[in-house]
Each structure stands twice: as C-alpha cells, then as structure tokens.
Amino acid sequence: MSGLDQVVVADTCLSEIEGEKGQLSLRGYPIGRLAEEHIFEENLYFLLTGRYPTIEEIGNVSQQLIAAMQLDEEYLTFLETVPLHLDAISYLMVALSAINRQKFTWPPTRDQALHLQGTVLAILGQRQSRLEARPLTAPDAQLNFAGNFLYMIFGQRPTEDETKALDCYFTLTMEHGLNASSFTSRVITSTESDLISAIVGAMGALKGPLHGGAPSEVIKMLEEIGRKENIDTWLKERLENKEKVMGFGHRVYRTKDPRALMLKKVVKSFNREEGWLQLALALEEKAERALKAYKPNHSLKTNVEFYAAALFKTIGLPQDLYTATFATSRLAGWCAHALEQAENNRIIRPMSRYIGPKYE
C-alpha cells in the first residue's frame, strides 16, 4: 500500500493512538495523566523501561542527564567548527555524528538513551550561546530537564510557569506511534547500527516540513493575520481559495488532539495577557466554526502544533529552534523504539512493486 498507510509493521508496547476517540496512551496510561502527574524525567524513564523510577532511580537519572549536559573540552572545540549558518536540526545532526561511539555499541541501552537526551540539550545550548556571542551556560543541578533547557538556551533562570509548560510539552510530544521519524529509528536499529545513527536518521525525517515543521507554519499564519479584527476576512479568503489553515486537523485524530487540549490548558494558565496569545485563542474558536461550515465532512480541530506554537512564542523561544525543541522531546520516543526493536530484532525489509517497462 502506498506510503505503508494502514500497514502494521511492528508490535509495540510503547503507545496507542485511538484516532476516532481522540485518545493517546503511553504504555497503557492516558497522555494527559502522565503530563499532569509526573515530570518529564519520570515519564522518560517510564517510556524506556515500562515502570516509574524509585526516588533513588530518578536521582540517578537526573545525575546522568546533568552529566551528559556537560560537554568535554575536546568535543566543545569541535562544535566551534560547526557552521552557524546550519539550521538547528542540521547542526544537531552534524554534532551528534561526531560523538565518540565507543560506548554506543549495539544493542542500544537505556544509559545510551539518557546520555543522548542530555547531550542534545547541551548542543542546542552551545549553539545558542555561539549565535549570541555569550559564554556557555552550564547546567544547574537544581533545575529539572525542562528548566535546564530554558536556562541553557536563554542564559538566565526560567520562571516556574515557563518550566512547567515546557515540561508538559516534552511529555506530550515524546512518543506518538510509528510516525515517519520513529519508523526511521526502528529501520536503522534493525540493521544493528548504533543508537547515534538511528537518532541522526530520525532527525533527518523530522526535518521534513510534512513532519516537524508545523509550529513554524502556525507562527507565520498568525503573523500574517496580525490582529483579531482580521481573522474573519483572512479565514474567508483562505478557505474560498481552498488553502490550508495551519494547526488544524491531523492525519490520525478524527476529533480533538488530546495533546492540544492539555497544552491549551497549560498555555492559558500563563499569567500573561499578551495580544499574540489572545489572537491564537480567538483564531481557534473562529477557525473551527468556519472549517465546519466549509468542510462539513471533515473534523478539523486544533492539533498539538497549534498550541506548541503558542507556547514557544509565549516563552520567547527563537523560531529556528522550534523543530529542534520537538526533536529534543521526540528523542525519548526514538530511543524507546530503538530499544524495543533490538529486543527481538529482525531487519526491516519491506517489498516494492515494480511498475516500469520490461525488455527482452
């Protein structure tokens, strides 16, 4: 079937998407429950192992992540040579490819996954410090993963609501079935290549605008609209020209994206009355109503990318980091898929159907 649509290529215990019901669960638990009750580090451990860590274990996980965020001098010297004209994902791909692979033998392990999780954060922080010509910000052991992400990107301690919101985002987007990038990580792992190769390959898939670039497109749309007073006219013109309204609809969900519901709740909790955020909320209400009128046979509700864009804009994240921030969370899922693939590995080798000419 074209694009492997509806073709099952793997059994998994990682996540289940029930598109008709608008439900997503990770290892059997609703995604909203995980995001509300646990921080990202705990959910990361749960996704990789199938159980939540003890107090001692989560302490060890935090230590491993912090240690991975502290890049050695030789590696930092190399990173200074990576061109800054590269987009953030390409920068990550180059940087990860240069990691010493002695500890990344096959099969992949949880420790390897945790090391890469912390390293990706550190690389993005190093890149941002170079772009802003400021000293590198070292991680703070008193901050959680999301807090350190913001601290190392911005060079100043984040607020509690910013940390909580990004922590929620990381959990909500860490794993989502056998999407293009997760499938890529499994295919590469199935060849018994190392975990770094699987992650770099997955990033290449995520880089494609049909997969990881949606929040940036939402921002462009909102900037084009500009003011709440322009929404009705903009929507009418867009829909009559049969153009997409970015951030609405999903390949899998036939009703509300459960991640969007949770992220909307978090974004609305910010103690801010920014006109930009109010524009996003107003657009959601009017666009869903207009889409229902113009396309009555389609269920086009806001998806997670719509409110990811709202969150990123609200906390002031540079737009060129949007997809890389998505990669930082989805790395957890890629690693989990790699570990699961390696448990009972068989090389993934689908068939193709020849439709070209034949000659005698």
* Beta bridge partner(s), residue 23: 18
Task: Please give the full DSSP string across 230-249, using - where no structure is assigned.
Answer: GHHHHHHHHHHTT---TTB-
Phi, then psi, of 256 in degrees rounded to 5: -60, 135
Give the residue among 132, 129, 161 at the shortest CA–CA distance from 146: 161
CB atoms near residue 92 (< 10 Å): 26
Distance between alpha carbon 21 and the CA centroid of its chain, in Å? 22
Contact 41, 65 (CB under 8 A): yes
CA distance 315 to 328: 17
Candidate list 176, 250, 284, 337, residue with the active-site label: 250
DSSP state letter for 38: S
* Residue 195, token pair as written in the block: 């975990």
Candidate list 42, 175, 305, 340, residue with the active-site label: 305
Distance between alpha carbon 116 and the CA centroid of its chain, in Å? 15
DSSP state letter for 102: G
Query: Judging by DSSP bridges, how do beta strands 23-26 and 15-18 pair with one another?
Result: antiparallel
176 is catalytic: no
CA distance 235 to 212: 24
42 is catalytic: no
Q: Would you name the residues annotated as active-site residues?
A: 250, 305
